Structure 1
């Protein structure tokens, strides 16, 4: 059903009272079926009319309600045929069972329904109660009443009653005998056909009625068709029962007639005049159509509208109202506000709406609320309407006045702005009404003419203002000589003419006030006679006019200058006509200025100018500057390159112009081509340089491997002092050369953009301390104090390229040691948390020679040396700091230096690194160690500060002394107060009393002898075992001591001391903690326990599948190396391991030996003749896939470029070993993949 149908069907929800009246007259109820002809809907008044619950009918077929005697009748069959053929039907009458006694017989009419695609979707129609009519028929036929025993008297009474009953009926009835002659005619028959008993009476044939009706113009049948028509009608009557049918008379009346077969061949014909009913049905259809139209109109209204009944239930809403609640009209109809608005708003409308329904007064209110983030204003108007049946309804409409409110607000704001603008205008404004009375003068006008303030008061006139102005000397120079002549000679005449000017047409003039300032006056009268005067100060404009005249003279000079530049310049107006060209343009085109000015390119150049015009139009439309390089062939055949540029320009007056220029760039293009060739050569040279460096790296490292390897082996043999000195020189010189090579390669890779950072989790403190440990030997050789401080509280793990960070710190720390002869070197690490991570600042401060101010700016440039003289004391390539600077930049950080020449320098750099997850469990301070009292004895103030800071961060109670003497005093005082020191951290080398001397005194002093001592020594000051035992030193650490090692040593030492004390008190075994690190050996620092993750990384990789080798059988190591020197190195190193090995000269031989000798491990050189190591590895892996075996292969290469390791792994190798190869590195690789020495494996 459509929405209109739904609203009609809902009874009270009809759109108007008139429509309900039509329905009440035309039918008793409405109905609807689905496509299967089962009832799908009944109107509300069905129950009232029939007494049957609609729920019992919905879903059932009409024929389910027919009595058996009627279901098989001809009328039922005809009705069923109508339904099957989808034809409309009218007045199908049948007896209804199960209803009220007064509604046994009903009549239904219906029309088929089709959807938009033409598919049948059911019937829709009306129903009427015709029980009274049916009872009359029943009485006529003798049905519906039990007859008493037949007697003549009763029969006569019955016939009399029957005649009166039939006469009383409004339905026309005639009973025909077997010959179709009238036996009984009721009064309604005569009234319907408008005939008399004399014309058609008892005994007359039915043909007589038809002839009379024809004479009366009832039939619209042609004369030649009349007899045929009569015969067909008589045949139809004789045939028997005829279902009710419609007959439209020529006079417009509509009849429903039916034929009922009686006994003895008699026929009962009934006529029912339905003309009025038809008219009402037409009116109903029209009303329905109007209702649909009204609904469509209401739905098209953009303002929400609704109608409520007396119970405040929605009976009609339009689409805009439904959209307001994001639903459909069907879901709202029948509901109350409870289903639409929040609970707290439901009662806001009820009182007002009931008052409107009761009193009929119109209710209107403006509301404001926020919807979708914006403030919305609406006017709600509600009023009472009544239907024809007397029911009262509440009709409401909602108007969105947000835009109106916005405009009102804008209008008010505009008015205020106008007033503000009027007062803030840079021009004076004065207004007089049509009678020349003063209205307004803004502040600017009053300030410009202060002598006339008295003229601008309410009630004053324009003439009075002119009089005051005349006395003050205003308006003297008007520009009109005749008027100005009257100014002094005839003031009254001047006033008359002056006032008259203000009543004339719009007027613009200039005048000069007595103060010397110039004003332009704009005077006008509006249509209503209001005078408006505007006074603009044009003094500056006058001055600019003078300046413009000067500028025009300068412009002439500039034009001459432009004419003489070797560039073609032109300008066009918006219509693309040239209005300026310089001499260069004329020379380029061969067209004179006179021939070009005022013309378009098409007029100047003909068809060739069309392309120029198209380009010009594109520039003017887009507003974008167009640049293009052109190649032009001159008349002499030479090729000329030129650069053309043109763009749009808006002048100060708003005019649009096109400005263009053309420059001859032939020479520039030639130079550009030469530069491109030079660039290509430079690229090739750079590529050749990279290849050269890679090859040179290989070629240099290969012999260096032999030199360093043999030198290291030689150093392990029996040598005298002189030979050992020579060997050390070889090793140091070789390593120095490798450092230079690495610097050059690093800088080359950075310079070429080939260096890639490799971020990974790492321990910052360990990285810094590793570098400090490496440099500590050189520091001690120069008797320098090397100090490391890492700010407590910093995260221990970060993500970054730890190798490059170590390289940066090594470079800075190495330089600090190199350029410092005495004092100390401090590495200080601090950090500040940032959103992207921690901003780390690592500084290296020394007390060295410092840097001259003139060298600071270039200190980070390549090949830069503080001392560049040939006699400089310090060696170096000058690349270290340049590499360091570039690495810091790659990490997104900053690097800098501060120096005081002769006093020292501080190099610093910052990087921001994200924190990483802690590797392994955090150390938990044992309860019995927290708060332990630690005495620090060190002559260096920086060391004391750092150690004290560390102790505080670890939870110890520390005290620092600057000498052994002061330290002893602290020990004695603490013991006297009953606060003995739990441990002493003692520096070995101090002026006056050394660390050893203090330790001896402590051990010899009663009450102090048992105090644990941790000694901090340099690398060449480690105590021998006897001295260690003699002094009772609990632990010894090499400076700079790692913070982790110092903490573990402190904890272990204090725990051990407390455990001994507890044992002595309890005379039981000391409860040593297995997890506590043991004391260091006399000559070694306390080892650091690696976290679980670190131990996992250091463990050998899982064993790969390989064939089992029986004891004493098979080959341990196969070496593939083509260089004889390196073969000798491998022989010397592997010979000491006890493993069996075989050396081959190239990859092909390695491939053969692999499957013949079945080695447990292969050392594969990458660069070899015939078949290189990568190719040989690939072939070995392909064969192993077939056999299901796997032998570890370690790649050996002298290349030092990024990606060597990755190429080895991608080729199928398991590990990577760079040259030059040291015995230690090779031994570690062998132990990693074969696990221990050969002897150990054999014993196992």
Structure 2
């Protein structure tokens, strides 16, 4: 056959192939490998050149054969047939060789000594993806091996031999070259770049002389084996992980009960260490192993499988452990029992939970059966599933009969709708439970009122299971509640009637009282005889006392009804104290007792509180002090307690030198309608409500009231309040008197001296205080001699041995003191003979207790401060305001009283008798304000005011000030006036002062001229 190896020759050649079998050892078997020698013989020339291409061990043999052929050229014709036969023989051998190579599943690759590939069988093509012609003549390491593997192999050989080995072809055949064969696992690189693991056996090829002519590598694809091994390892790892991390404790024992495998859970549960367990006997580790367990082990060693869902294991140290366990044998490969496997799970916690659940269920059963109220489990369709005896008794049914019906059947028709709506809310999850009062029908037909509380029980998935209901019989409670409601309604009606009666009583009493007090006041301003003045004074005092009693009763009634309210507003504390004491001054003067105001520092800032209620408490306490003091003094002291964050706390103390209070009477002192004893009531009068009202008022204002007293020594009452401070008022302008301005004060009362000296010192003057009027003139002379003369002398009227008037005349008789300004202090309002007063030439007469503003104005006037007018000892500053007033009042007496008062104040008045006339008049004429009685025929004051404010009266000023005149003294009456559109209100009986203040509050210039 023609050989492509020689196709480039100009001659025609024939290839002769010889085949030599070589034995190559592969593991435990023999593989045949073929080496060939090809030679080309020029058949056409009688003589020619022999070209030889050879490979393998038979190259030399073929050369010898060719040499013989050449020497026998002359016998060519004779041997030609033999050569052709040999050629045929070689071709057949070559085919056999290829068949053996290509039919082999092994990857067979042959190389020369330099690593060039000479043989590449079909198995190699299949495994590696290359065609034979792609790799013949290529160097093996560069194509088929991973460079990193070659480098690692070179490093290993270098370390073994101590010689540097480069990562090339030699590292693949190093051991084969030395030992003739090497077998190991390597990774071939496929044509697509992927790796394939093979078990490679490398064998040297040698010629007849034993020289290495090449290498033959036979590789077996071990991918499947690798997969199997990996799967085996993974399986073993999974088994190990499963054993170690199983939630149950797992241990494997051999037939001697020695540990073979143990899980982590086992080690944890039994407090063991892995290093101390493997290979040791279970009975050695647990020497107290019960015989019962040893018997279980032996039975399982014989092939039995035993288990328990819950078993109590008691340790020697007393530790009790609940276990779920299983013991079974394990078998060897040969099928024999190799030992046992124990699975245990510590269920102590679960068992305790089960026990607790059982106990809880038992408690629930007992609570259900023996509950003091009806209990029921109700199905989703409303049928009773389980009921207790209490519910059966409540509804009159036997248990078996009640379980045959549903709650819908026994529910009152008026309640079923809301009951079902509540059930729907439970089923939809809108509520977790509901409670309602409903009616059930008793078996005998009567209605049973019950308080139902129901909740829905769901399973673990959230699906509804049933309802749990608690049914409490409230029939008796309902009956009592209805009775209580009726009683409450009756009480409210009685309270309403009482309030209405009090309001009407107030109106009916105050209306004539207005006439009595008003007329008495007007009468006292006329020229009267001594006897007439005495009778008028008695009328005034009696009517004022009666009015006080009425006010106390009304206030107590409001407190008792819970209708008394505190109305915070800005007010001046000093002014409230001084005004209150001014009201009490006449009574104190009559009794010739000193009424003293001792007002401390730090309380000049306006406060936010109920000034009216403060005055009421102070008047109650100070009024009692004046009432129960026969001689001596009543002192009102105001002191700041603390000031924090815009709030000021102060204490008001009222002390007297009166009769005192017996210890046995002190305990009930603040109780209503109570006085120290009956003789006190008969002697001093009063309702016994003042202190009870005061305590209530102080409590409503957030304070407390206390007292201390000794019989015959007097009493001391005090209360503390805390109020917000308002924006600081502008301080009064300084007096700007020359530095060192000196005043002299003489008063035989020690408290008066201290208080008055303090008031003067606060104005920035030097005060000399004397207690004996006989010392005054010598003291004034001494001041003149010292060059520090007195600028003003203040003296009390009543002093022992030498009264104020006599002292003043004595000073006027002194040549150097004749022009000294003098001020008289009087507690009675009367200062003796007018002619003597004229001789004394007093610069001012001041009534005690002296107000701070009054004292300031007096000093400014006397000591010559410009811009100040002299103020009287009492009364109001003159006002130029002349008002034209319309008064609507249906009571004739009240008309006369009010008209006289207004005219006395310098105002003009038109009077009408009802609301309709008031509307007509206000539309016809221009008025500065309207005094509107609230209760009038035809159209009352409220409706008349509403029409004026609504613009329903042609020609009327819708914003005209309207002041209510009312005999109703309740807070709600005042509120009703304001809601009707009135600007202010004055409670009857009306005083000039009340009208004056109301005009001022409405922004009217309301003088008190011409008194």
TM-score (norm 1): 0.46
Q: Which residue of 2 aligns with 1:646?
A: 454
Cα shift at 1:591: 6.0
Q: 2:865 aligns with which of 1073, 1076, 1088?
A: 1073
Q: Which residue of 2 aligns with 1:907?
A: 718
1:568-587 alignment runs, 5 A limit? 568-571=374-377, 581-587=387-393
CA–CA distance in structure 1, aligned partners of residues 747 and 1009 of structure 2:
49
1:323-722 alignment runs, 5 A limit? 480-482=290-292, 561-562=370-371, 565=372, 567-571=373-377, 581-588=387-394, 592-593=398-399, 618-619=425-426, 621=429, 624-634=432-442, 636-647=444-455, 659-715=468-524, 720-722=529-531
Cα shift at 1:791: 3.2
2:553 aligned with 1:744, yes or no? yes
1:1107-1126 alignment runs, 5 A limit? 1122-1126=890-894
The answer for unaligned runs of 5 or more in structure 1 is: 1-432, 446-451, 487-492, 498-503, 1057-1071, 1105-1116
CA–CA distance in structure 2, aligned partners of residues 603 and 1122 of structure 1:
68
Q: 1:825 aligns with which of 608, 630, 635?
A: 635
Contact in 2 for aligned 1:437/1:462 (Cα 8 Å): no
Give the stretch that moved more between structures: 636-645 or 1135-1144: 1135-1144
CA–CA distance in structure 2, aligned partners of residues 854 and 623 of structure 1:
61
CA–CA distance in structure 2, aligned partners of residues 723 and 1221 of structure 1:
23
C-alpha RMSD of the superposition: 6.5
CA–CA distance in structure 1, aligned partners of residues 408 and 915 of structure 2:
81
Contact in 2 for aligned 1:799/1:916 (Cα 8 Å): no
Cα shift at 1:981: 6.5
CA–CA distance in structure 2, aligned partners of residues 592 and 971 of structure 1:
111
Contact in 2 for aligned 1:1018/1:1039 (Cα 8 Å): yes
2:981 aligned with 1:1219, yes or no? no
Q: Which residue of 1 aligns with 2:689?
A: 879
1:1078-1125 CA distances to partner (integer Å, 9 max, x unpaired)? 4x77xx36x89x8xxxx9xx7748x78xxxxxxxxxxxx887654454
Contact in 2 for aligned 1:601/1:613 (Cα 8 Å): no
User: Relative to structure 1, is the Cα distance of residues 1018 and 1136 closer, same or farther in structure 2, using a 3 angstrom cutoff?
Assistant: closer
User: Relative to structure 1, is the Cα distance of residues 666 and 533 closer, same or farther in structure 2, using a 3 angstrom cutoff?
Assistant: closer
Cα shift at 1:1046: 3.0
Contact in 1 for aligned 2:625/2:656 (Cα 8 Å): yes
Cα shift at 1:678: 3.3
SS of equivalent residue, structure 2 residue 553: helix
User: Relative to structure 1, is the Cα distance of residues 855 and 1189 closer, same or farther in structure 2, using a 3 angstrom cutoff?
Assistant: closer
CA–CA distance in structure 2, aligned partners of residues 531 and 992 of structure 1:
121
Cα shift at 1:781: 4.1
Q: 1:778 aligns with which of 569, 584, 587?
A: 587
CA–CA distance in structure 1, aligned partners of residues 759 and 904 of structure 2:
45
Cα shift at 1:770: 0.8
User: Relative to structure 1, is the Cα distance of residues 538 and 850 closer, same or farther in structure 2, using a 3 angstrom cutoff?
Assistant: farther
1:814-855 CA distances to partner (integer Å, 9 max, x unpaired)? 233334455533231426434454344434344555566777
Q: 1:765 aligns with which of 556, 574, 593?
A: 574
Cα shift at 1:856: 6.4
CA–CA distance in structure 1, aligned partners of residues 563 and 681 of structure 2:
36
Contact in 2 for aligned 1:848/1:905 (Cα 8 Å): no
User: Relative to structure 1, is the Cα distance of residues 730 and 514 closer, same or farther in structure 2, using a 3 angstrom cutoff?
Assistant: farther
Q: Which residue of 1 aligns with 2:603?
A: 794
User: Relative to structure 1, is the Cα distance of residues 1225 and 1024 closer, same or farther in structure 2, using a 3 angstrom cutoff?
Assistant: farther
Contact in 1 for aligned 2:598/2:635 (Cα 8 Å): no
1:533-557 CA distances to partner (integer Å, 9 max, x unpaired)? 9898999999x99x979x97x9998
User: Relative to structure 1, is the Cα distance of residues 964 and 508 closer, same or farther in structure 2, using a 3 angstrom cutoff?
Assistant: farther
Cα shift at 1:769: 0.8
1:574-620 CA distances to partner (integer Å, 9 max, x unpaired)? 999978632122235566556888x99699999x9999898567448
2:849 aligned with 1:1040, yes or no? yes
User: Relative to structure 1, is the Cα distance of residues 869 and 458 closer, same or farther in structure 2, using a 3 angstrom cutoff?
Assistant: farther
CA–CA distance in structure 2, aligned partners of residues 463 and 1026 of structure 1:
137
Contact in 2 for aligned 1:828/1:844 (Cα 8 Å): no
SS of equivalent residue, structure 2 residue 954: helix
Count of residues in Structure 1 that have an aligned counterpart in Structure 2: 727
1:830-869 alignment runs, 5 A limit? 830=640, 832-835=642-645, 837-848=647-658, 860=670, 862-867=672-677
Cα shift at 1:691: 3.0
Contact in 2 for aligned 1:808/1:884 (Cα 8 Å): yes
Contact in 2 for aligned 1:601/1:612 (Cα 8 Å): no
Q: Which residue of 2 aligns with 1:1185?
A: 954
Q: Which residue of 2 aligns with 1:138?
A: none
Cα shift at 1:915: 0.5
Cα shift at 1:908: 0.5
Contact in 1 for aligned 2:595/2:633 (Cα 8 Å): no
User: Relative to structure 1, is the Cα distance of residues 586 and 1184 closer, same or farther in structure 2, using a 3 angstrom cutoff?
Assistant: closer
CA–CA distance in structure 2, aligned partners of residues 603 and 732 of structure 1:
76
User: Relative to structure 1, is the Cα distance of residues 873 and 1006 closer, same or farther in structure 2, using a 3 angstrom cutoff?
Assistant: same
CA–CA distance in structure 1, aligned partners of residues 621 and 279 of structure 2:
93
SS of equivalent residue, structure 1 residue 684: helix
User: Relative to structure 1, is the Cα distance of residues 459 and 623 closer, same or farther in structure 2, using a 3 angstrom cutoff?
Assistant: same
Contact in 1 for aligned 2:260/2:279 (Cα 8 Å): no
User: Relative to structure 1, is the Cα distance of residues 763 and 457 closer, same or farther in structure 2, using a 3 angstrom cutoff?
Assistant: same
CA–CA distance in structure 1, aligned partners of residues 785 and 281 of structure 2:
109
CA–CA distance in structure 2, aligned partners of residues 1024 and 465 of structure 1:
133
Larger Rg: 2
Q: Which residue of 1 aligns with 2:539?
A: 730
Contact in 1 for aligned 2:671/2:692 (Cα 8 Å): yes
User: Relative to structure 1, is the Cα distance of residues 1023 and 717 closer, same or farther in structure 2, using a 3 angstrom cutoff?
Assistant: closer
Q: Which residue of 2 aligns with 1:332?
A: none
Q: Which residue of 2 aligns with 1:895?
A: 704
1:1009-1058 CA distances to partner (integer Å, 9 max, x unpaired)? 988665544235646666667677665533322223334445555xx3xx
The answer for unaligned runs of 5 or more in structure 2 is: 1-258, 300-305, 328-340
Contact in 2 for aligned 1:511/1:518 (Cα 8 Å): yes
Contact in 2 for aligned 1:619/1:648 (Cα 8 Å): yes
User: Relative to structure 1, is the Cα distance of residues 823 and 768 closer, same or farther in structure 2, using a 3 angstrom cutoff?
Assistant: closer
User: Relative to structure 1, is the Cα distance of residues 736 and 1187 closer, same or farther in structure 2, using a 3 angstrom cutoff?
Assistant: closer
Q: 1:805 aligns with which of 596, 614, 622?
A: 614
CA–CA distance in structure 2, aligned partners of residues 1179 and 1128 of structure 1:
27
SS of equivalent residue, structure 1 residue 1185: coil
Q: Which residue of 2 aligns with 1:246?
A: none
CA–CA distance in structure 1, aligned partners of residues 697 and 312 of structure 2:
74
CA–CA distance in structure 1, aligned partners of residues 597 and 706 of structure 2:
19
Cα shift at 1:1142: 8.0
Cα shift at 1:1160: 10
CA–CA distance in structure 2, aligned partners of residues 911 and 931 of structure 1:
38
User: Relative to structure 1, is the Cα distance of residues 1185 and 465 closer, same or farther in structure 2, using a 3 angstrom cutoff?
Assistant: farther
CA–CA distance in structure 2, aligned partners of residues 951 and 532 of structure 1:
101
Cα shift at 1:726: 3.4
